[in-house]
Amino acid sequence: MAVHRQPGTVLTDHTFAVPLDHDAPDGERIEVYAREVVAAGRAKEDLPWLLYLQGGPGGRSPRPLGRDGWLTRALDDHRVLLLDQRGTGRSTPATRQTLPTRGDAAAQARYLTHFRADSIVRDCEIVRRGLLGEDGRWSVLGQSFGGFCAVTYLSFAPQGLREVLITGGLPGLRSTAHDVYRAAYPRIERKNRAHYDRYPGDVEAVRAVVRQLAEREVTLPGAGRLTPEAFQSLGLMLGSGNGSHTLHYLIEDAFLSTPAGPVLSDSFLCQVRDHLSFAGNPLYAVLHEAIYGQRSVSAGGTGWAAEQVRGEFPQFDAAAALADGAPVLFTGETIHPWMFGTDPALAPLRETAELLAQHEQWPDLYAPDRLARNEVPVAAAIYHDDMYVDTADSLATAAAIRGLRTWVTDEYEHDGLRVSGGRVLDRLLRLARGEL
């Protein structure tokens, strides 16, 4: 068990063996990794635990650089556990490089059906008992998809919870994947309009990029194709606090003048590759729609819902926008089958992803009846017009969880926890404890 020191903190590594399938506890086991963080000088104190659940799916927990960000507030009175959810980070990985050891695409898909919030929560319970004992309880902080996991935790294992804090992550309890994206595209369009109002020169600059991508094949450095649709998916940035500005600066670097005329610059293409590649979090793409599957809501598969629903919103058709002289709209947190043809990190997983898209009878992730009887203090930050999580769904779920207190704000975007320097966490703690 390695121990490290950083400015203001002491870090301790933990690894736990958990069942791949919690319904078969004597079967195959995998590992989950977690990093304990405590304020320097307080490592021997009996502090309450705060478990952090990262957004995603497929995102590893943050790698702290001393006492920074929201940890500044958390470490005032907690021992924090940063969990690498199964399949991510230093937990047993699930990537194009490791999944072939499972067998063919069908075997890989079966394996990955055990990587949703229900399994993550049962992992957390094994970790909790290992660190705190059978009767120990901890607080949980869930960001985005981590908030979805926290609601699953409240549904099926509330006995392990002291309090729950959710930021940008209250899911629709009865929303299908198609419902999610049908509500998402109008929000994404609003973020586009706001971006173009802020940077009107980007309208023609984006059209020029898309025009060039439509006329010739463009390969990103290190392989991978940049198509108009792939370029549009950079709109994922528009849901964060500084994302519009980051996107603008990226577009600024798009073209260079050469003897052959304007060409897309190497600098631009390199930055685009880094934004678009799923090499660091392939499960985000492979399992993204599966996180909405629940047999009591929709027994069928999620079926590439974002791609199917996109046809209902023709304003996102880049070719039509060029023909009509209209702004080209970026897309957002949407996963499409063509991504498994343009991204080298996803290409080997194309058949596996297709099988997961068609997978039926996903177990339910939430228990509305139990949530209605909830006794755990819960506080949630709901970001007004959050591009990633529907505000109407979040408010409905907040009303469905007994005792949940909300903070609805437009001061921050979806990344409020990360950028607020501890202010979002402090407010949620005070709400959960009745101090506000």
- The sign of the torsion formed by the CA atoms of 235, 238, 240, 243 equals positive
| Continuous segment of H or E residues that includes residue 293 | none
What pLDDT was estimated at residue 261? 84
The active-site residue, picked from 179, 343, 386, 415, is 386
pLDDT of residue 111: 98
Look up 144 and say whether it is catalytic: yes
The pLDDT value given to residue 183: 97
Taking residues 104-126, report their average pLDDT.
Answer: 98
CATH code of the domain occupying 3-173+366-432: 3.40.50.1820
Does residue 304 contact residue 336 with C-beta atoms inside 8 Å? Answer: yes
Does pLDDT of 222 surpass 90?
A: no
Cβ atoms 321, 328 nearer than 8 A: yes
* Separation in Å, CA 203 to CA 146, 191, 397: 35, 14, 37
State which amino acid sits at residue 2. Answer: A
pLDDT over 90 percentage in the chain: 97
Look up residue 67 and give its two tokens. Answer: 């006492």
At 401, the pLDDT band (50, 70, 90 cuts) reads very high
Q: What are phi and psi for residue 195, nearest 5 degrees?
A: -65, -45
Q: Which of 91, 144, 155, 175 is catalytic?
A: 144
386 is catalytic: yes
Kindly tell me if the per-residue pLDDT of 336 is higher than 80: yes
Give the Cα separation of 400 and 324 in Å (integer). 45
Task: Judge whether residue 1 has pLDDT over 80.
Answer: no
- CATH 3.40.50.1820 in the chain is located at 3-173+366-432
Average pLDDT value for the chain: 97
Task: Tell me if the pTM is above 0.85.
Answer: yes
Q: Please name the residues in contact with 107: beta carbons below 8 A apart, sequence gap of 6 or more.
A: none
| pLDDT of amino acid 62 | 96
Confidence of residue 309 (pLDDT cuts 50, 70, 90): very high
Model confidence at 260, pLDDT cuts 50, 70, 90, reads: confident
Q: What is the largest CA-CA distance in the chain?
A: 72
Q: Is the confidence at residue 104, as pLDDT, over 90?
A: yes
Confidence of residue 223 (pLDDT cuts 50, 70, 90): confident
How confident is the model over 96-114, as a mean pLDDT? Answer: 98
The C-alpha atoms of residue 269 and residue 253 are separated, in whole angstroms, by 9
- Report CA-CA distances (Å) from 302 to 106, 184, 308: 17, 16, 10
Beta bridge partners of 123: none
CA angle 215, 220, 224 (to 5 degrees): 95
Catalytic status, residue 114? no
Under the banding of pLDDT at 50, 70 and 90, the label for residue 297 is: very high
For residue 274, the Cα-to-chain-centroid distance in whole angstroms is: 17
User: Following CA atoms 35, 39, 40, 41 in sequence, which dihedral angle do they give, to the nearest 10 degrees?
Assistant: -120
- Model confidence at 334: pLDDT above 80: yes
List, for residues 140-185, the tens digit of each pLDDT value: 999 999 999 999 999 999 999 999 999 999 999 999 999 999 999 9
Per-residue pLDDT tens over the stretch 34-64: 999 999 999 999 999 999 999 999 999 999 9
pLDDT of residue 43: 93
Mean pLDDT of 69-95: 97
